Chain A
């Protein structure tokens, strides 16, 4: 049972390059989320998708776009990467929105030079 799978696990980009981070869950969850984690800070919500076909901004959406491709997949795109976007990115899912715990992937470590 894979749970939440993120690809790639590591990536190095140059400033200005574009990149899509992939996330897929096999738990039939309705809601999916993208977070970033920076040193000394907690996870900060970038975007979320409460259900298939909907997406909404989180706390730090600038510089990112998302696509809820289907119920299983939720991708995060950096159109023009900046050094400030160097971070560890986590995808998560939950059964539904509301007060439900989230299941996290193991993260993508992204470095932008």
Chain B
């Protein structure tokens, strides 16, 4: 059973608008969350992370929000650019086993010029 879920396989957004990618998790022991970006034929690259002691973390155009009570996190990209078109994975790990990362199935973002 998947402990991290990304229920939207794809998302299409106009350049300059906001992209919101969502991720849900089931394991209440997860306390560290990451977003990775993946281009075709390349490995995932780290984008941004958040610890469970925070509810928001911002890095330039990228902001991650964490709602622990809902077991939900989201990645906001503002403004979206065509170069942001990629597959985005969320991942989570728990303090009691922090080497084990659980990934969602990914959301393919298409930013249209």
**A contact residues vs B (CB 8 Å cutoff):** 4, 31, 33, 35, 40-45, 48, 50, 56, 58-59, 90, 92, 97-99, 101-107
Q: How far is the CA of A3 from the CA of B105 in the complex (A)?
A: 25
Knowing A42-B105, A43-B103 are in contact, say whether A104-B98 is a contact too (CB < 8 A): no
- Across the two chains, which residue of chain A brings its CB closest to B42? A106
User: Does the CB pair B105–A41 fall under 8 Å?
Assistant: yes
* Interface flag for B49 (CB, 8 Å): yes
Q: Which of B6, B32, B36 contacts A99 (CB 8 A)?
A: B32
1/0 per residue B87-104: CB within 8 Å of A?
A: 001010101001111111
User: Does the CB pair B99–A102 fall under 8 Å?
Assistant: no
- Across the two chains, which residue of chain B brings its CB closest to A91? B43
Q: Which of B43, B98, B104 contacts A42 (CB 8 A)?
A: B104
A-B contact pairs, 20 of them (CB 8 A): A4-B43, A33-B101, A35-B103, A40-B9, A43-B89, A45-B102, A48-B99, A48-B100, A50-B99, A59-B102, A90-B44, A98-B98, A101-B49, A102-B46, A104-B36, A104-B45, A106-B41, A106-B42, A106-B43, A107-B42
